[in-house]
């Protein structure tokens, strides 16, 4: 039996722009698969092809065993889709939007209330407010409720957390985790690398190509270079000095520290300390660390 | 107001009907500082920013930008500031050179200076081969770097950046911050909002807005020490959701 999402060699171009290049991956039942990459990477094209809104140039894909071209009507009945841009009716109230989506799919709010309860109860106090007048976080919750109200088997969420503050983002991922208990398979895209750890499997995507597919744990574990975090009061100047240091493989600012990789394999920490101490900034702290998914992404971009 | 403040506000307030969007905020941003303006969605950041840009009249309180009164001198303020947001930055159906010319022209730069700026910017951003290409054909990261450069083409006292790096790839995001540092070193004050907590760490100081008020302000080291946590994400969680860590 095919996995709920099954993709083979999908390619798509628009005039002279290649949006997707030979994409293949699978998503298992009740799994959260994160498609992670910047704007313009091809994420939305992939979503539109899988939700039967766009035809691929080449390749095959199946959703719950249904072919995305031949069985498009069937697929539309069993999926929920939350597009990147706010997709609701701005002039309808919160409650009207939700009941409209329910009735299109031949169901009612009451029938599947259990599924949306956790999310919808947070916006229910504002159910008479027009959707256009909701804050960003509330719009996102309403859009998810609308995508869920017919109890879809597969849920497609295109950048649901873009522009949303870090706390609301964490809450949103908590909600997604809970949906797995209902057996719903979720394909979600995000430009925020730190959200990778909330997914069961991730695909890193850039310029229409998948750079890597794995679990977030395995992907960071397989990173084959030593990576050091440097903390210093003179972060910006230290960074610039390291950018022109002869043994630097890569160096990036990373929040409160600098992530440094040496071109030499297995260079000793003590050697780095003594070299850096001779540079203009003697006060610093260096520590070997585990890479993050963002480190992996930047390394893969460098290799491209 | 101290002499080196580029932004200062005292009890600045904006009400929409019975709703108080910005609630008595008092703070200063110094010349050349990179100031991070953080807060949850709906906390009042955009409203406050609009008042500082001279686009929205406050309900009460005082506010000065580049020494100018935000009530009486909003037109003068607009000439002294730069602005860039994630949503709107450049004209997609104009070329790189036309966008530079357009913005520089709006700010009253003469033709000779405009030509000089077109060369300088294309050179710095490695866009020389793309000078006559439409903006719509450029990758997002390039657009954002160009948009920032265009926002400071008239050498303003301060530039307002509203989520400038949203959706940009991790390498380009860091290159964008290199441009911010360069501008700050040249004396431009930078006022920036972001949802990336690692970017909060790149600011000299940040403020955290909650329900229209400035709930905390200071360097990230200061704030992490104050709330006894290791990350800005946790500071955000404590302040924005009143969560115990």
Question: CB neighbours of B204 closer than 8 A, spacing ≥ 6?
Answer: B33, B34, B35, B219
Please name the residue of chain B whose CA is at the shortest distance from the CA of residue A293: B170
CB contact under 8 A, A166 and B233: yes
- Percent of residues, chain A, with pLDDT higher than 70: 99
Query: Is the pLDDT score of B243 beyond 80?
Result: no
Q: Please provide residue A264's backbone torsions phi and psi, each rounded to the nearest 5 degrees.
A: -80, 135
Give residue-wise pLDDT tens across range A232-245. Answer: 988 888 999 999 99
Q: Is the distance from CB of A41 to CB of A18 less than 8 angstroms?
A: no
pLDDT at B1 over 60: no
Q: Do B195 and A163 make contact, defined as CB atoms within 8 angstroms?
A: yes
Q: What is the pLDDT of residue B245?
A: 55
Q: Going by DSSP bridges, is the β-strand pair B34-39/B189-193 parallel, antiparallel, or unpaired?
A: parallel
Measure in Å the smallest separation between the Cα of A191 and chain B Cα atoms: 5
What interface predicted TM-score (ipTM) does this complex get? 0.87
Quick one: pLDDT at residue B88? 65
Q: CB-side exposure of A85: number of CA atoms within 13 Å?
A: 4
Confidence of residue B86 (pLDDT cuts 50, 70, 90): confident
How far is residue B166's CA from residue A38's CA, in Å, rounded to a whole number? 9
Arithmetic mean of pLDDT, A152-168: 91
Query: With an 8 Å Cβ cutoff, are B232 and A255 in contact?
Result: yes
Q: pLDDT class for B244, splitting at 50, 70, 90?
A: low
Q: Could you tell me whether strands B158-162 and B81-85 are parallel, antiparallel, or unpaired per DSSP bridges?
A: parallel
Q: Tell me how far CA of residue B42 lies from CA of A94, A134, B38, B104, in angstroms.
A: 18, 9, 11, 33
| Over residues A132-150, mean pLDDT | 89
Does the beta carbon of B201 lie under 8 angstroms from any beta carbon of chain A? yes
When mean pLDDT is compared across A251-255, A279-283, B70-74, B125-129, the lowest value belongs to A279-283
Which residues pair with residue A83 across a beta bridge? none
More confident residue, B80 or B41: B80
Sign of the alpha-carbon dihedral angle for A222, A180, A206, A294: negative
Residues of chain B positioned with their CB less than 8 A from the CB of A134 = none
Q: What is the mean pLDDT of residues B227-232?
A: 94
Average pLDDT over chain B, rounded to whole? 92
Shortest Cα–Cα distance, A114 to chain B (Å): 26
Question: Residue A59 burial (CB < 10 Å; 0-12/13-18/19+)?
Answer: middle
DSSP string, B43-64: SSHHHHHHHHTTSS--SEEEEE
Residue A255 has pLDDT above 70, yes or no: yes
Terminal CA-CA length for chain A: 35
B204 close to A (CB below 8 A): no
Please report the pLDDT score of residue B206 as a whole number. Answer: 97
Tell me the domains of chain A and their CATH numbers. Answer: 5-218 (3.40.50.300), 227-303 (3.30.70)
Residue A180, CB half-sphere, CA atoms under 13 Å: how many?
15
CA distance A297 to A291: 10
**Backbone phi, psi, residue B4, to 5°:** -100, 15
Kindly list the distances between the CA atom of residue B139 and the CA atoms of A62, A300, B196, in Å, as whole numbers in the listed order. Answer: 30, 18, 21
What would the DSSP string read from start to end of chain B? --TTEEEEEEEEEEEETTEEEEEEEEEEEETT-EEEEEE-TTSSHHHHHHHHTTSS--SEEEEEETTEETTT-HHHHHHHEEEEESS--S-TTSBHHHHHHHHHHHTT--HHHHHHHHHHHHHHTT-GGGTTSBGGGS-HHHHHHHHHHHHTTT--SEEEEESTTTT--HHHHHHHHHHHHHHHHTT-EEEEE-S-HHHHTTSSEEEEEETTEEEEEE-HHHHHHHTT-SSHHHHHHHHHH----
B202–chain A Cβ distance below 8 A for any pair = yes
Other Cβ atoms within 10 Å of A82 Cβ, number: 22
What is the torsion angle, in degrees rounded to the nearest 10, for the CA atoms of residue B79, residue B82, residue B84 and residue B90?
60
Stronger pLDDT, A93 or B243, i.e. the higher one: A93
The DSSP code sequence of B61-73 is EEEEETTEETTT-
CA B8 to chain centre: 15
Q: Which of residues 82-101 of B touch A (CB under 8 A)?
A: 86
| Domain B32-42+81-241 = CATH 3.40.50.300 | yes
The beta-carbon neighbor of B140 closest among A39, A168, A255 is A39
Q: Which residues of A touch B169 (CB under 8 A)?
A: 37-38, 41, 206, 297, 301
CB B164 within 8 A of CB B192: yes
Question: Which pLDDT score is estimated for A236?
Answer: 86
- Per-residue pLDDT at A60: 96
User: What DSSP line would sit under B95-107, residue for residue?
Assistant: BHHHHHHHHHHHT
What is the distance in angstroms between the Cα of A151 and the nearest Cα belonging to chain B? Answer: 29
Asked whether B197 and A166 are in contact (CB, 8 A), the reply is: yes
Phi first, then psi, for residue B85 (nearest 5°) are -130, 170
Range with the lowest mean pLDDT among A30-34, A115-119, A136-140, A267-271?
A: A136-140
Q: Which residue has the tokens 């009890």?
A: B11
Measured between beta carbons, the chain A residues lying within 8 angstroms of B236 are 165-167
Interatomic CA distance for residues B96 and B168, integer angstroms: 19
Give me the residue spans of the domains in chain B. Answer: 32-42+81-241
Apex A179 CA angle, A37 and A72, nearest 5: 70
Residue in B6, B21, B179, B164 with CA at minimum distance from that of residue B80 = B6
Which H, E and C letters describe chain A, residue by residue? CCCCEEEEEEEEEECCEEEEEEEEEEECCCCEEEEECCCCCCHHHHHHHHCCCCCCCEEEEEECCEECCCCHHHHHHHEEEECCCCCCCCCCEHHHHHHHHHHHCCCCCCCCHHHHHHHHHHHHHHCCCEHHHCCHHHHHHHHHHHHHCCCCCEEEEECCCCCCCHHHHHHHHHHHHHHHHHCCEEEEEECCHHHHHHCCEEEEEECCEEEEEECHHHHHHCCCCCEEEEEECCHHHHHHHHHCCCCEEEEEEECCEEEEEECCCCCCHHHHHHHHHCCCCCCEEEEEECCCHHHHHHHHHHHC
pLDDT score at A286: 94
Local confidence band at A140 (pLDDT 50, 70, 90 cut-offs): confident
Contact across the interface for A253 and B177, Cβ inside 8 Å: yes
The confidence score (pLDDT) of residue B2 equals 61
- pLDDT at residue B3, rounded to an integer: 67
Q: What percent of chain A has pLDDT over 90?
A: 79
CB contact under 8 A, B170 and A37: no
Question: In the predicted model, what is the mean pLDDT of residues A31-53?
Answer: 95
Q: Quick: pLDDT tens for B29-79.
A: 999 999 999 998 888 999 999 999 999 999 999 999 999 999 999 999 999
């Amino acid at each position: 039996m095919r996995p709920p999402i099954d993709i083979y060699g999908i390619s798509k171009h628009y005039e002279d722009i290649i949006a997707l290049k030979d994409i293949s991956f699978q998503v298992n039942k009740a799994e959260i698969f994160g498609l992670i990459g910047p704007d313009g990477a091809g994420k939305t094209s992939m979503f539109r092809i899988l939700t039967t809104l766009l035809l691929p140039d080449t390749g095959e894909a199946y959703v719950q065993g249904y072919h995305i071209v031949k069985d498009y009507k069937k697929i539309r009945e069993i999926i929920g889709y939350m597009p990147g841009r706010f997709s609701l009716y701005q002039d309808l109230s919160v409650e009207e939007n939700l009941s409209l989506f329910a009735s299109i799919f031949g169901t009612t709010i009451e029938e599947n209330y259990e599924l949306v309860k956790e999310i919808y109860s947070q916006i229910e106090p504002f159910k008479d407010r027009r959707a256009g007048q909701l804050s960003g976080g509330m719009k996102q919750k309403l859009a998810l409720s609308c995508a869920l109200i017919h109890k879809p088997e597969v849920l497609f969420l295109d950048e649901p957390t873009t522009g949303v503050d870090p706390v609301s983002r964490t809450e949103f991922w908590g909600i997604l985790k809970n949906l797995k208990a209902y057996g719903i398979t979720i394909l979600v895209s995000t430009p925020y690398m730190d959200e990778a750890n909330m997914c069961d499997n991730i695909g890193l995507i850039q310029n229409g190509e998948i750079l890597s597919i794995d679990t977030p744990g395995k992907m960071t574990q397989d990173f084959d270079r030593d990576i050091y975090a440097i903390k210093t009061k003179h972060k910006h100047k230290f960074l610039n000095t390291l950018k022109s240091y002869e043994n630097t493989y890569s160096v990036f600012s990373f929040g409160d520290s600098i992530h440094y990789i040496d071109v030499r394999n297995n260079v000793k920490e003590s050697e780095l300390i003594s070299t850096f101490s001779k540079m203009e900034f003697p006060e610093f702290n260096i520590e070997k660390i585990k890479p993050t998914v963002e480190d992996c992404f930047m390394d893969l971009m460098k290799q491209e | 107001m101290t002499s080196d403040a580029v932004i200062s506000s005292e009890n600045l307030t904006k009400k929409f009907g019975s709703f108080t969007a910005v609630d008595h905020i008092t703070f200063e941003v110094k010349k050349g500082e990179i100031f991070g303006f953080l807060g949850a969605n709906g906390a009042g950041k955009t409203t406050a920013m609009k008042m500082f840009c001279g686009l929205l009249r406050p309900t009460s309180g005082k506010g000065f930008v580049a020494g100018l009164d935000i009530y009486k001198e909003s037109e003068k303020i607009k000439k002294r500031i730069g602005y860039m947001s994630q949503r709107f930055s450049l004209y997609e159906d104009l070329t790189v050179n036309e966008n530079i010319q357009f913005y520089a022209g709006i700010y009253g730069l003469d033709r000779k200076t405009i030509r000089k700026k077109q060369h300088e910017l294309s050179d710095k951003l490695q866009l020389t081969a793309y000078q006559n290409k439409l903006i719509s054909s450029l990758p997002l990261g390039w657009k954002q770097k160009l948009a920032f450069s265009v926002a400071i083409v008239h050498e303003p006292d301060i530039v307002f950046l509203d989520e400038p790096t949203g959706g940009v790839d991790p390498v380009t995001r860091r290159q964008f911050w290199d441009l911010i540092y360069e501008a700050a070193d040249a004396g431009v004050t930078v006022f920036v909002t972001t949802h990336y907590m690692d970017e909060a760490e790149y600011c000299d100081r940040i403020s955290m807005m909650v329900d229209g008020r400035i709930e905390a302000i200071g360097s990230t080291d200061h704030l992490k020490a104050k709330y006894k946590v290791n990350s800005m994400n946790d500071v955000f969680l404590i302040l924005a959701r009143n969560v115990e860590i």
